[in-house]
Amino acid sequence: MTTITLEEEIFAELEMIARRKLTTVETLVKETLQRYLQSTDAQPPRKYSFIGIGRSGQKNISTQVEETLAKGANRIEGWSLS
């Protein structure tokens, strides 16, 4: 069992939805999380679409693209100089 803390407004909205669907907040949250996890697992990681556009003079860049970019790019936040 896990306990989560929600703001009162969010919990109130969940209660209204649960009543409308004739279920409990617990069941509603559980089903929603299951659907979210299934949709997240089903999608393969996106490839970078701009790979191969230019020339670097190095022959192995395209074969090492994922590992090279993984070191410097966060797929959500973008590039990092750190």
Q: Give pTM, 2 decimals.
A: 0.48
What does the alpha-carbon distance between residue 78 and residue 48 come to, in Å, rounded to a whole number? 12
> Is 82 a domain residue?
no
| CB 81, CB 75: distance < 8 Å | no
pLDDT band at 39 (very low <50, low <70, confident <90, very high): confident
What domain count does the chain have?
A: 1
Token look-up 């192995």 returns 60
Range of the domain at 34: 8-42
Position 59 in a domain = no
pLDDT at residue 30 is higher than 90: yes
User: What SS3 state is found at 15?
Assistant: helix
Residue 31: inside a domain: yes
- Let me know if residue 66 belongs to a domain: no
**Within-domain flag for 29:** yes
Q: Is 16 a member of any domain? A: yes
Residue 47 placed within a domain? no
Average pLDDT of the chain is 78
H-helix segments, 1-82: 8-20, 25-42, 65-72
In a domain, 27, yes or no: yes
